[in-house]
Amino acid sequence: MDASEGRGAAGPAAEVSEAAAPPSEAPPIKPPADAPPRRGFSRRRLLGAGAVGIAGLGAAAAGGYVVSDARSGARSGGSDTAAAIPFRGTHQAGIVTPAQDRLHFVSFDVTTESRADLVDLLREWTKAAERMTAGEAAGALGAVDGPIEAPPQDTGEALGLPASQLTLTIGFGPSLFDRRFGLAAKRPAALVDLPAFPGDDLEAARSGGDIAIQACANDPQVAVHAVRNLARIGFGAVAVRWSQLGFGRTSSTSRGQATPRNLFGFKDGTANLKAEDASLLEQQLWAGAADGTPWMANGSYLVARRIRMHIETWDRTSLDEQQAIFGRFKGTGAPKTSADADSAEFDDFEFDTVTGASEPVIADNAHTRLAHPDFNQGARLLRRGYNFVDGSDGLGRLDAGLFFLAYQRDPRKQFIPIQQNLARVDAMNEYVKHVGSAVFACPPGLSRDGYWGDTLFA
């Protein structure tokens, strides 16, 4: 980070503060009223047993309450699920990162018409995102660089909570590449407008958007806090177009994770691309330097679909029928062709197996068959979708379903043909309806000094 770019949170006087702050394990002292804060704002240490010096913060002591090193604080204690995930790297975090339990996804419209303002925002966002993924506050709780009447630079609801494996992943939608910001020539060919699929019933208010941010964490308060603070920082330049919470992951992105269940009660997507599939990831997940869009090299394309599930109808369907639709056993998740007692979820699907009556055991219109790479020219997706329930629908039913998120190298060769296959004949279609849709180009990971979108705006 370059301190000169700061929102005042890490201003030029940081060294003074460094000297004024007590050693991290020493008894707290009340910081001098005029001391700026140290770089970084540990949420956890801030409110630890030794950090009551914060109470000195008030009208007479704006800012200056940070008394410990943020990084060490966020990363020291706690289990893996509380740990921090590195923010920078070749690829963005939050794609092959083992899927966290909770999601807050937001899609923004850009409201400023100034390219410079947009780039400034992306730089600001990057700094706040890096802090928050490390378990720090987005900025100072009290004003630092302005009059004490200024609002806090962090909203506070995650104070005391660990990093919780928060990842923040950014993507750019097709609409960003219109005339406003001079980006039309940089629109990737793979960032197509998705075609209309049979059965689509899309709501504009739940679809599209110029910029998306996916916040995944093991604590939903941490994910919500991150999105809320990015929206706060973006005030005047972006507006929330839509946002979606997911309460439970439905995918595993690593072989070390158990496959969870969707709201049909099934395991699905067990043929998902996983972090360990190095050569498949190169072939099917990451955009390449030779793909025609240099700024997207090491990036990936994200398709988001809000899929409403008619769970009340599903719940009145027999187990037999449910299992036929998926082509799996509900209990274990094993293929229906694995009838042995030792069959298991990751058994191969034997699509050629037929019954005594010469019918395929896994029907021609079974979801698993239609979605399987064997029937899609080998195409796979990296899925990291989430279950949602957003209250009720006014018709006596829960507004529940799957917020489908899938990363891939090229939607033209992956999501689109697979979904055309499914939308046409999938036996599951009777129980689902796609009501939201969006596609985003997610740029590569950040270099040491990079900011979100730097390869695009450079």
> Which tokens sit at 119?
């780039």
- Residue 4 or 25: the one with the smaller Cβ distance to a copy of itself is 25
C-alpha pair distances (Å), 148 with each of 58, 139, 293, 388: 9, 15, 46, 40
Rounded least distance, CB 273 to a copy of itself, Å: 23
What's the rounded Cα separation, in Å, for the pair 339 and 75? 46
| Numbers of helices and strands, H then E, in the chain | 11, 10
Up-side HSE of residue 118: CA atoms within 13 Å toward CB?
23
Rounded least distance, CB 207 to a copy of itself, Å: 13
- Residue 130 or 154: the one with the smaller Cβ distance to a copy of itself is 154
Rounded least distance, CB 457 to a copy of itself, Å: 24
> Which tokens sit at 23?
């050693």
- Residue 321 or 364: the one with the smaller Cβ distance to a copy of itself is 321
Rounded least distance, CB 328 to a copy of itself, Å: 10
Rounded least distance, CB 318 to a copy of itself, Å: 4
Element (H, E) at 439: strand 432-442
Rounded least distance, CB 316 to a copy of itself, Å: 5
- Residue 367 or 409: the one with the smaller Cβ distance to a copy of itself is 367
What's the rounded Cα separation, in Å, for the pair 322 and 266? 9
Task: Give the other-Cβ count within 10 Å of 345's Cβ.
Answer: 15
- Residue 226 or 379: the one with the smaller Cβ distance to a copy of itself is 226
Up-side HSE of residue 272: CA atoms within 13 Å toward CB?
30
What's the rounded Cα separation, in Å, for the pair 126 and 455? 14
- Residue 173 or 411: the one with the smaller Cβ distance to a copy of itself is 173
- Residue 7 or 232: the one with the smaller Cβ distance to a copy of itself is 232
At residue 112's C-alpha, the angle toward residues 229 and 187, to 5°, is 95
Rounded least distance, CB 447 to a copy of itself, Å: 31
Residues pairing with 434 in the sheet:
307
Rounded least distance, CB 142 to a copy of itself, Å: 5
- Residue 8 or 248: the one with the smaller Cβ distance to a copy of itself is 248
What's the rounded Cα separation, in Å, for the pair 31 and 37? 9
Return all residues near 209 (Cβ < 8 A) that are at least 6 apart.
107, 108, 109, 173, 175, 241, 242, 438, 440
- Residue 188 or 220: the one with the smaller Cβ distance to a copy of itself is 220
- CA distance from start to end of the chain: 18
Rounded least distance, CB 51 to a copy of itself, Å: 8
- Residue 300 or 338: the one with the smaller Cβ distance to a copy of itself is 338
- Residue 127 or 228: the one with the smaller Cβ distance to a copy of itself is 228
Q: Among candidates 122, 110, 88, 89, which has minimal Cα distance to 5?
A: 122
Rounded least distance, CB 213 to a copy of itself, Å: 13
Q: Among candidates 250, 333, 308, 268, which has minimal Cα distance to 431?
A: 308
Residues in the chain, total: 458
Rounded least distance, CB 277 to a copy of itself, Å: 24
- Residue 277 or 347: the one with the smaller Cβ distance to a copy of itself is 347
Amino acid at residue number 190:
A
DSSP sequence for 264-325: TS----TT---TT-HHHHHHHTSPPGGGS-GGGTT-EEEEEEEEEE-HHHHTTS-HHHHHHH
List for the chain the helix, strand, coil content (%; round to 5).
25, 20, 55
Rounded least distance, CB 45 to a copy of itself, Å: 12
